Every structure is written in structure tokens, then in C-alpha cells.
Chain A
Amino acid sequence: MDVNRRTVLKGGAAAGAAGLGGAALLRDSEADVSRSADWGDQDTDPEPYEDFERHVVGEAGVLDGVDGALEPVGYYDSIQGAVDAASERDLILVSPGVYHEEVKVDDTPNLTIRGLDRQDVILDGEYEMSTGIDITADGVVVENLTIRNYSARGVYWVSTSVDDPISGYRGSYLTAHNIGVYAIYTYNGQYGRFEHCYASGCDDAGFYIGESQPADAVITDCIAENNAMGYSGTNAGGGLVIENSIWRKNMVGIVPNTLDSQAGAPQGHIDGGIRIDSNEIYDNNNLEAPATANAYAMHGCGVAIAGGLQNDVVDNTIEDQKKYGVVVFPMITDTTPGSLPGRILKGHLPFLSDEHFYKPKDNAVQDNEVSGSGRADLALASPASGNTFSGNDVGNTRPALLQHRDGSYGDPMVFLQVLRDFAQTEVGSFPQGHSEDQPAPDPETVRDELDEYEMDDPAGTPPAPPLGGLSDE
């Protein structure tokens, strides 16, 4: 036999090295989402209070004959008129009608603005107004109405101080559609809840909770469709749960992400990331949705974790994504102002990084059912660190055997794929629609698909804090 000792030794060494390399690479890495298991455990049945006054937007007598409806202290032609007249903890009831106004709630904490009919109480900005309801006060609740045709935001809770987040907010039974940028939106807030809401036709995100760490907030029983992103959460996390909701026909479904343009980067590094739990996510491939550049770069993805940390994606059903069901990748963008040549001269790598380059770290993807993805059901781009994928019912993954390998080693092909699409947004045009052209929701479809569509007794139900247990009750 034509084999000498040297050949045998070389063969043995090669096999040993291959074995060691393979063993290092292929090791089951159990995802552990228990770190976020008790997130979202909010007191959703806070004690109603009686020390309030009613203000009615509409004609006198609109509450006549309504059981339990006490006599209001005043009637107003506009919602803003009622807000200006109200005191802390009051209830504003809005009669059916179309209201062309921008409402600001700055000095009235714990106010409740409630429509008497979700479908027929409509704030309409006619694309000439910026924001439907702009709230900087703590503890404000908006519920049971529709907001449409604003150029920037539908309902917007925002703190005026970076160091002092808005504390307590809730949006319930809201329909917000054909909104320029964000439909239902919180920026720098804590202790919040969006429930039984619908958002569509936004060129950024239907639902957005950003720059909030810890956020201590829940999005539940909601629907987002025909947006650039169903949900976006820049630099948000910590007690933040997205659950039991439907994300479909957006350009991309759910996007926890990191950007240097907002405080607190990278996303999830302070108090943990976002728990994305038990959602239906499908067909987010809509290139006719209105879009920002970043959303286009992630089109065709169900859940896209862009440079985020410690996000848990668990028990979701994700179907028919043209690119990836779940993709985890470094944030590839440059939000520095200025032209591309100008940014290059400042030392930024074009397309490749913000002020910093954030790779995804310690994200866990567990027990999801993912099918019908065009490229891969699960994908991890390189570079990455400490991500884990296990127990998912999936087909193709990138890299191969993703659920049996160290999640610190992603696939350069995924990185290049995302890089290509971010680059396209920098140097050229990309397919997208316009907010004005998006279809209005069919109320009956929304009613069928949400667990709860509208309030049972909006006129007779006393107001309550956004959530139980808030310190300022």
C-alpha cells in the first residue's frame, strides 16, 4: 500500500484540526429568554377615580339618555378647547364628527381624551397639519377614536427633557392611518401601553417607542400594515414587550434598532432589549408602502434586529417573508448630516457605520415557527457576538446549522445583502409608495382581527390612570 508514515501523520493532523474547528463552531447554544419572562406584567386594571370633571366636545345634549353619563361641566367646539379648559385627571369626551385640528396637551397631566365612537370620531389633518395629538404631560390616555391624514404623527407622547422621560401613557382602541411618519408614537417615555390599536400608511413606523431605556411598556393586540416598518424602536428596551399582535404587508415587520442620532445607543445595552412574543408576522414585503431609507434596506424581513442587544424573539409565527424571517445584523447606516462626499471627508465610512459601528449582541431567538422565507428563515450577519438561536421550527438558515453553532459567527452574505440595500438608499432611488395613496382600513376586518375593537361604554366609564401602580396616582 502506497502510504507512508508521514502521509498518515499529515492526514491525522488535518482530520484533527478539522474536527477541533468543527467542534468549536458546531455547538448547540441554547437560547435563554427567561431574562425577559416577567416583562410586561403590568396592572392593566387600574382603579378608576371619581374626582374628575367631564368636558364634552360636541353639541349640548349629546350625552342625554346615556346611562351613567354625568352632566359635563362644559361643551366645546374643538378638542383643543376642551383640553385648555380641563384640569388634571379630567375626562374629555369627543362626539362623533370630523375634527380638523392639532391638539396639544402640555400642562394637564393624567388627562383622558376619549372618543364616543372609535370609527366616527375622526381627527383629520388633511395632510396640512403635522401631528394629531401632541402630548408632553405625564399620564395622558387617548382612546376610542380615529386619526388620519397628518403629515408627521398621529398620537405623540414625548418628553421635553432627555433626562426626564414622560411617565405613564396609554393609547387604547385607536385607529391611525395615512400618517406621514409615525402613527402611534412615544419618544423618551416610561410606563406605557398601546392596546387594541391599528396603524397604517406611515413612511417610518406604525408603532414606535424610541429612546426609552427602561421603557417598561407593552404593545398588545394591535395591527400594523402598509407602513415602512410595523414597529420601530430606536435605542429602546428594558421591560418592553411586543406581543399578541399582527404585523403584515409592511415593508419590514418589527425593527429593534440602534442609531447614534438618538440618545442611548446601542439599543438594549442599559436594561435589556425588547421581548417580541407570540405575534403573527407575515408578508412584510410591501414595496408600495411609503418608506424611509432605513426601512427599504430591510424590506422583506419579518423581524430585523439592527445592531441591537439582548432582544428576545420567542413563540412568534413568521411566514412568507421574501428575504428573511428573522435577521440579526450590525446597524449599517450613517445618520450623520451632510452629503455623502462630505461625510467621507469627515472620516465616516460610507454606508458602513454611524458614528459607531454596532454589531448585534446577546440576542435570543427561540421557539418561533418560521416558514416560506425567500432567502432564509433565520439569518445572522457577521460580525456579531453571543447571539443564540434554538428550538425554532425553520427551514433554511444563514449561516448553515445556525441553531447548532456559536452565534458569534454570522454569514458575510447576509451582511452584504443588507449593506447593498442600505447603499442603494444612499446613492440612488428605491421603490416606495406614498402615505396618501395607502388604502384606508376596513373597520370590519380590523374589528374581526382584534380581540377588542372599541370601548363598551365610553360615556359612562370613569377615567383611570394609564396603568396601575404609577407613582403619581
Chain B
Amino acid sequence: MSEDAQAADGETGSTDDLDYGHLSSVVLGAVVLALYAAWMGADLVPRWLLFPVVALLTGYILSQRESGHDKSIFVGYALAGMIFLTPLLFFVPDVTSGYNASTSELLFTSSNFFLFVLFVIPAVVVAYVTYRADGGRGVFQRLRGLTSG
């Protein structure tokens, strides 16, 4: 290796320094979250757009976490949040698509409440499992840590 190449290597990091365990867990976590986001949001946003955006965003966030434990906790809470928000993807197209019916008729229905409950339950389960796996630290404590750097 030439001196120039060695210098460049020093600046950008050698392939020998790649942590494949870290990289694969980042990719795995990002793919899981992006797949779910693409599935839930496909009625509103094209999958070809939603998948890479979510994958890159969550991949970046995951790459900032050193331990596998921290990555798992992030994926758990993010997944719970998306499951919780999934019913919106049933409701929103109904009220934005221009049916000749009032918003209240389409939105405030018994079945939408039923659907909301249907998704809240698994969201709470995933969040609780994540919370226990995190040793009961709590979401807000974690968020405070995140915002304070």
C-alpha cells in the first residue's frame, strides 16, 4: 500500500475496522422497521419511497447506538409506535379521498374504534416487552437521554 493510500485509509477507516456484527444489526433493524412502514403506509405513499426513507433514517439512528441491546430497544419502541399509528392509515384515506359523506360519518365509527383497539393491544404488548427488556428504564428516561445527547 502506498503512503497516500495509507493516509487515505487513516482518514476514512480501513475495511479491517468494519464491525460486521454492528453493521448487520443496523441493517436488520432498519429493514424490519422499513418493511413495516412500507406495509402500513403503502395506501398513501409509494413503497419505493417509503421503504428507503425509513430504512435510511432508522439505519442512521441505529448506527449511533453501540450495543445490540440499545439497538433492540430502539427497534422495539419504534415498532410499537408504528403499530399504534397503523389505524391512521385506515382512517386517513377515507376522509381525504372525497367520498360524498361527511368526515364524522366516516371517521367516528364503531368499527374504527374497534380497529384502533385491535392495533393498540399488540402495540402495548411490544412496548411492554421492550420496556421489560430495557430493565424498566422507561421511555421518557430514554428520550431524555436521547435529547441530551
Asked whether any CB of chain B lies closer than 8 Å to the CB of A427, the reply is: yes
Residues of A within 8 A of B100 (CB): 285-288
Indicate if A420 sits at the interface (CB-CB under 8 A): yes
Q: Mark B50-71, 1 if CB is under 8 A from A, else 0.
A: 0000000000000000000000
* Chain A nearest Cβ from B9, distance in angstroms: 13
B residues near A396, Cβ cutoff 8 Å: 42-43, 46
Is A456 interfacial (CB-CB < 8 Å)? no
Q: Is there an interface contact between B115 and A420, defined as CB atoms closer than 8 Å?
A: yes
Within 8 A of B (CB), among A347-391: 374-376
Chain B positions within 8 Å of A417 at CB level:
90
Q: Is B24's CB under 8 angstroms from A1's CB?
A: no
Top-3 shortest CB links A-B: A424-B111, A431-B101, A428-B110
Q: Do residues A1 and B15 form an inter-chain contact, with CB atoms below 8 A?
A: yes
Contact call B110/A424, Cβ cutoff below 8 A? yes
Binding site for B on A (CB under 8 A): 1-3, 7, 11, 285-288, 299-300, 322, 374-376, 396, 398, 400, 411, 413, 416-417, 420-421, 423-424, 427-428, 430-431
| Given the contacts A413-B39, A428-B109, A3 and B20 also touching, CB distance less than 8 Å | yes
Inside 8 A of B99's CB, which chain A residues have their CB? Answer: 285, 287, 299-300, 322, 431
Report how many A-B pairs have Cβ atoms within 8 Å: 79
- Residue of A at shortest CB range from B89? A413
- Per-residue CB contact flags for chain B residues 5-19 toward chain A (1 = under 8 Å, else 0) read 000000000011111
Residues of B within 8 A of A411 (CB): 39
Contact residues on B (Cβ < 8 Å of other chain), bracket: 20 to 34
Is B3 at the interface (CB under 8 A from chain A)? no
Which single residue of chain B is at the shortest CB-CB distance from A401?
Answer: B47
Q: With both chains docked as a complex, state the minimum distance between the C-beta of B16 and any C-beta of chain A, in angstroms.
A: 5
Known: A375-B93, A396-B46. A427 touches B110 (CB 8 A): yes
Nearest A residue (CB) for B17: A2
Which B110-132 residues have C-beta < 8 A from chain A?
110-112, 114-115, 118
Assuming the contacts A2-B20, A287-B99, A431-B105, asked whether A374 and B110 have C-beta atoms less than 8 A apart, the reply is no
Q: Is the CB of A431 within 8 A of B43?
A: no
Question: Which residues of B86-114 have CB atoms within 8 Å of chain A's CB atoms?
Answer: 90, 93, 97-102, 105-106, 109-112, 114
Complex: A3 Cα to B118 Cα, angstroms: 44
Q: What separation, in Å, do the CA atoms of A300 and B15 have in the docked complex?
A: 54
**B101 and A11 contact, CB distance less than 8 A:** no
Q: Would you call B101 and A287 a contact (CB within 8 A)?
A: yes
Chain A minimum-CB-distance residue to B91: A420
CA distance A300 to B115 in the complex (A): 19
